[in-house]
Amino acid sequence: MPHDHSDHPHALLPPEPALRVKALETILRDKGLIDPAALEEIIDTYQNKIGPQNGARVVAKAWLDDDFRAALMQDATSVVRDLGFYGRQGEHMVVVENTPDQHNMVVCTLCSCYPWPLLGIPPGWYKSDAYRASAVREPRKVLAEFGVILPKGTAVRVWDSTAEVRYLVLPMRPQGTEGMDEDALAALVTRDSMIGTGLARQPEGGAS
C-alpha cells in the first residue's frame, strides 16, 4: 500500500548526495547485504562493456542484410539475443524503422525506461524533466534542440515506454554508404540516432 509518511527514512541519511550514497553503501556492506566487489563489477559492466556500440552493431547488420532486418522487425528480442544483447532492461525489444514518411522517437515520460543491453545507461538529458515532459507534446521542437529538422512531409511517431517493452529506432541508412562494411557502417550509428533524437552520421567525404 502507498505510504505517504512525511517521515521518509531517507531524510535520516546525510543530505549531500555523494555522502548519502556512501552512508547507505557502508551500512549495507557492514551488514553483509552488498559486496563491494559486486558493485565494481556492475559499474565496470555499464561503464565499459554495455553501450551504444551494441545497438550500432544491430543497425549496421540491418542496413546490410534484408533478411536480418525483416527478422529484427518481426521479433527483435530473439534476434538481438542471438547477438548476445539480452538482459536487464532489454527483456522485450521492439525495433521501429525510420522512413522518409515517418520518424520515430523514444521517451519514457513516467520514469526513464531505456534499452540497456543495446544502448547502455541513458544519458542525462534522456532522464531530464525537460525531455520527459516535452518529447510527447512537441517532438519537433525537441528535435530542433538536437539540430534535427525533418522534412515537412515526415510524420513523427513518439513511443512512450510505459511498460517493460523497450524500443530501439532503426535510423535511415545515410546516402553515400554503398559498399561500406559492417564496422564502417556501425561507426555512423550514434546513440541519439537509435533514440530518435538524431540521425545517422554522414560518411566522411559524403554528401552533408
Partner 1 sequence: MSRVHDIGGRFGDGPVLPEGQDAPVFAADWHARALAVTLACGSLGQWNIDTSRHARERLSPKDYTRFSYYEKWISALADLLVEKGVLTVADLTGVDAPEAKHPLADRCLRADQVQGVLASGGPADRTGGPASLFQPGQKVRTRHPGGNAMVAGGHTRLPAYATGAVGVIERLHGTHVLPDSAAHGLGEAPEPLYAVRFAASELWAQPEHPRDEVVLDLWQSYLSAEDT
Nearer Cβ to partner 1, position 14 or 65? 14
SS3 171: coil
- Report the site for partner 1 in 61-100 (rule: CB under 8 A): 86-92, 94
Choice among 6, 78, 108, 134 that is catalytic: 108
- With CA atoms as reference, report the closest residue to 107 among 158, 142, 51, 168: 158
Please say which residue, 31 or 208, places its beta carbon nearer to partner 1.
Answer: 31
The helix or strand, by DSSP H or E, that contains position 155, with its residue range, turns out to be strand 155-160
In the bound state with partner 1, the residue whose beta carbon lies nearer, of 40 and 65, is: 40
- Judged by CB under 8 A, which of 54, 98, 177, 190 binds partner 1? 190
How far apart are the C-alpha atoms of 77 and 95, rounded to whole Å? Answer: 9
Q: How far apart are CA 56 and CA 189, in angstroms?
A: 5
| Residue 169: its H or E element | strand 165-170
Is residue 79 exposed (0-12), middle (13-18) or buried (19+ Cβ within 10 Å)?
buried
Size of the site for partner 1 (CB under 8 A): 89
Contacts (CB under 8 A) with partner 1, residues 133-162: 133-142, 145-146, 155-162
Note whether 123 binds partner 1 by CB under 8 A: yes
Cβ distance to partner 1 smaller for residue 112 or 202: 112
**Can you tell me the distance from the alpha carbon of 190 to that of 175, in angstroms, rounded to the nearest whole number?**
16
Figure out which of the listed residues 60, 191, 199, 200 binds partner 1, where binding follows CB under 8 A.
Answer: 191
108 is in an annotated binding site: yes
Show contacts with partner 1 in window 11-40 (CB under 8 A): 12-13, 17-18, 20-25, 27-28, 30-35, 37-40
Per the annotation, binding residues for Fe(3+) are 108, 111-113
